[in-house]
Amino acid sequence: MTFSDIFKSSFLENVTSVSAFDMVLAMILAFAIGLFIFLIYKKTYSGVMYSSSFGVTLVALTMITTFVILAVTSNVVLSLGMVGALSIVRFRTAIKEPLDIAFLFWAIAAGIVLAAGLIPLAVFGSVIIGIIILLFANRKEAAEPYIVVIRCDGAESEKKAFEFLSGKTKKCVVKSKTARKGSVEVNAEIRLTDDNTDFINELSELSGVESAVLVSYNGDYMG
């Protein structure tokens, strides 16, 4: 084997399989679309604790997917090996919000479509998806749900408490009830007629009511 034969290897021949212009353009567009996905995620996030690292992951995932697909589309043999290599990868990070799964698939799909050269589809599709998520994720119910925890000394005081709640709220539904000797604790979902929560003070002053707690409920619930 001569010195020139070394530089005729298939490894070096792959250097020019993807042009420098294509690489730069694809990575710039991937960064722009990933940043757009990140901004939509930040705008629509409604969970308890916002994770900035997940937003950065969306940008990185779009760019990583783009250059992987660029490599796959440039070499058929490489694409078969890439499928085998990626099949052994396992991700064990728990997804806490259902909408986060949509953002992950969005980032991956945008990178795949972009690297395939379908730039208009990647841009137009991302804009449409972003608008739809903004419209539906930020849509709030007219009356936000609350949970009221009432502790009273018996069935009679419980009845009075719920009669009072029914007159002050639009909806009052019992979610759970715990009865002990000389004490009853009830959790009820309510919908307020307005933003005034002073009724909880009046509720706690009713005869037989030991305590009344009002909690804002931001989780999943049935309308």
Is the pLDDT reported for residue 128 higher than 90? yes
Cα–Cα distance for residue pair 176/30, rounded to 1 Å: 49
pTM above 0.85, yes or no: no
Cβ atoms of residues 202 and 169 within 8 Å: no
SS3 state at 118: coil
φ, ψ (nearest 5 deg) of residue 144 = -70, 145
Q: Is the pLDDT of residue 221 over 50?
A: no
Do 120 and 57 lie in a common domain?
A: yes
38/127 same-domain check: yes
pLDDT score, position 218: 58
For residues 98 and 183, the model is more confident at: 183
Do residues 88 and 122 both lie within one domain? yes
Instruction: Write the CB contacts of 34 (distance below 8 Å, at least 6 apart in sequence).
Output: 58, 59, 60, 61, 62, 63, 107, 110
Count the domains in the chain: 2
Using CA atoms, how far apart are residues 102 and 96, in angstroms rounded to an integer? Answer: 12
Mean pLDDT score, 34-55: 81
**21 and 68 together in one domain:** yes
Domain that holds residue 16: 3-137
